[in-house]
Chains A and B, each alone.
Chain A
């Protein structure tokens, strides 16, 4: 009974408020801005060589806390996605399922479709475009915009900042366009 309860996916009214509380908690702890994509910059500053002004700063001073937070996210992914794994497929609406089936997605059993996110597919043009190309755009775009779904979508919007409104409207618009127009070209 308790086991079943722990493995069940959470409804939006649990997930959303907890997300909000994570952002509030970081402010309360150390006046820290919630935002994951800054870590991509910190990782560059810490690990990658090159004479680039954007990466010349004390990443330990400004970003160590966030890199530690990011390490926690990986651990949390293991706890939530492996230890407390839900035995059921992700319960998207039947309209969403039909819409994705229409572009060639048929395996709805995991967290991500096996038609795309396997090592085998990664070795194909489609896999490289989606995983490497998509990942590259995420890194480039979030650095350009100065934030992602957490930094702009939650932290910036909760602080009522106009730049975050611009960024959020833009990434939702491009996300919809990408899902409707690009995905059908990339899935066989």
Chain B
């Protein structure tokens, strides 16, 4: 009986065996965000007020690693652990309006909270309980976007 319940979902969703690996990846990302102080309101304001290079150095060095790695993985058609060939779906440009308007609104919220979505959740783990309210507000914001989506310019 245990084998029946254990194997059926595994057959339906073969990639779920990787869930522990994604959990581990998330933990690593959370540690990088906190130990790298990217969760810090002070660090974000330092960057947004152009008073220090830290955040820009972080972004530049992250891209210096990821950009050539992405290109290499795509060019050599490397297979992921899950088995499929690595391919990145390009985001549709369209008129580009959504990226500008959405980016501007997100940027304002980013300046106020001093955290983007990843750090928002990492801060809850780091003991800044108030950020749980900001997380819920962010979920609400996404819901309202989904509701208004048919009427918004994209």
Contact = CB atoms under 8 A, between A and B. Distances in A.
A159 B91 CA distance: 10
Contacts of A167: 99-100, 102-103, 106
Contacts, number: 530
Contacts of A137: 105-106, 108-109, 112, 141
A188 interface: no
Chain B: interface size category? 35 or more
Interface in B80-104: 80-82, 84-93, 96, 98-104
Interface of chain B, helix or strand or loop or mixed?
helix
A90 B37 contact: yes
A33 B86 CA distance: 10
B40 A163 contact: no
Q: Which of A159, A180, A186 gathers the greatest number of chain B CB atoms within 10 Å? A: A159
B110 to A, nearest CB: 5
B121 A158 contact: no
B6 interface: no
A139 B139 contact: yes
B34 A140 contact: no
Contacts of B46: 92-93, 96
A18 B18 CA distance: 21
Interface of B: 13, 15-16, 18-19, 21-46, 48-54, 57-67, 69-70, 73, 78, 80-82, 84-93, 96, 98-118, 120-131, 133-147, 149-150, 152
